[in-house]
Amino acid sequence: MVSDSGMTRALLVVVLSLLSFAPVWAQQTLPRPWVIATYAYPQRDRAAAIQPLADYLGLRARHPVQVRLFDSPTALVDALRRGEADVVVPNLHSYLQARRASEPLTTLPVPQVPALQADRYRAVLVARAGLEQAGELERVARSLRLVLVGRDSASGGFVPVRELRRRGLEPTTAFAHLAYAGSHAAALQAVASGKADVAALAADVYDAERPTGVVELWRSEPIPPGPLLCRPAADVPCQQFAAWLLEAHDEAPSVMAALRAGWPEFGDATVFVPAPTALLTPAPLD
């Protein structure tokens, strides 16, 4: 007859043996969520703007996703390079930054902005009245206060900065003072209120207000939006993402609707299209 202590030891062995064989579902690890990311902007809920995009890609692939916001377009590119983001919605400046990197990145489709609206997405240089005469800006620049939207803004940054440099005006040294407003509306208000003499911003923001005493000095050619970007990896099917985005207008119209709310430059876009070939070869930013 087996003693009680012997039965106890035998039962313990059986229990431990059973515990060593975890069920199959417990042995499987969940896949790493794909990070769908963009950059923050004042008065725009960019997390909400990319949530339907993340949900759509996750649903099509049956893969977990998460949304992240980074402080700026440059911070977004840095995160992409470090592998902290898988799919990003950049502006044109951060798209060009990313394409200049040595890492292999995949250009995804871009929202197709209707022609009339695409024509309106331009940069302007505006100034207080009295500076509109040809050559006047260059003549008195050293006494003027310049405001840009941000270092990595497209219409309020590198596009008008190129024009200033074409005129021989380096923003950091040719003016009495350089400041960054943080938004297009704030840049325009700085000139309208007399806190600045010259500002660079998006043309549609200026056209909507045209404050008294503020004049236009220059207007750029239309600025294309930046295509989405993907960082290829073994578990990140960038080419599949590209195909799904081209179907999003039928499969999930909410994707583009949310992007339009987050990026006014997308206008009334309803579909994604392949990025224009010209954008695939990065132009210099400086």
- Confidence at residue 64, expressed as pLDDT on a 0 to 100 scale: 97
CA 82 – CA 97 distance, rounded (Å): 14
Name residue, tokens 């930013």: 285
Q: How would residue 253 be classed by pLDDT, with cut points 50, 70 and 90?
A: very high
Lowest mean pLDDT among 196-205, 231-240, 274-283: 274-283
Q: How would residue 5 be classed by pLDDT, with cut points 50, 70 and 90?
A: low
> DSSP E strands: which ranges in 48-115?
65-70, 87-89, 106-107, 110-111
Instruction: Report the percent of the chain where pLDDT is more than 70.
Output: 86
CA 7 – CA 36 distance, rounded (Å): 56
For the segment 81-100, the average pLDDT, to the nearest whole number, is 91
User: Are both 148 and 185 inside the same structural domain?
Assistant: yes
Kindly report the pTM of this predicted structure: 0.77
For 208-276, give the DSSP string.
Answer: HH--TTEEEEEEPPPPPPPPPEE--BTTB-HHHHHHHHHTHHHH-THHHHHHHHH-GGGTT---EEPPP
Q: Is residue 4 predicted with pLDDT exceeding 80?
A: no
For the segment 24-28, the average pLDDT, to the nearest whole number, is 48
In a domain, 285, yes or no: no
- Confidence at residue 22, expressed as pLDDT on a 0 to 100 scale: 45
In a domain, 16, yes or no: no
Q: Is residue 283 predicted with pLDDT exceeding 60?
A: no
Mean pLDDT of the chain: 89
Structural contact between residues 201 and 155, judged by C-beta atoms closer than 8 angstroms: yes
In a domain, 104, yes or no: yes
Q: Is residue 27 predicted with pLDDT exceeding 90?
A: no
End-to-end Cα distance, the chain: 90
In a domain, 106, yes or no: yes
Q: Is residue 284 predicted with pLDDT exceeding 90?
A: no
Q: What is the DSSP letter of 142?
A: G
Structural domain span for residue 206: 122-219
Domain count for the chain: 2
User: Are both 43 and 163 inside the same structural domain?
Assistant: no
- Confidence at residue 30, expressed as pLDDT on a 0 to 100 scale: 83
In a domain, 103, yes or no: yes
User: Are both 262 and 129 inside the same structural domain?
Assistant: no
Q: Which of 196, 219, 242 is the last residue of a domain?
A: 219
- Confidence at residue 126, expressed as pLDDT on a 0 to 100 scale: 98
Higher pLDDT: 99 or 140? It is 140
Backbone angles phi, psi at 137, to 5 degrees: -60, -45
User: Are both 133 and 210 inside the same structural domain?
Assistant: yes
At 131, which CATH number?
Answer: 3.40.190.10
User: Within 67-192, where are the H helices?
Assistant: 73-81, 92-99, 115-120, 136-140, 159-166, 184-192
Q: Which of 219, 241, 263 is the last residue of a domain?
A: 219
Name residue, tokens 């977004």: 76
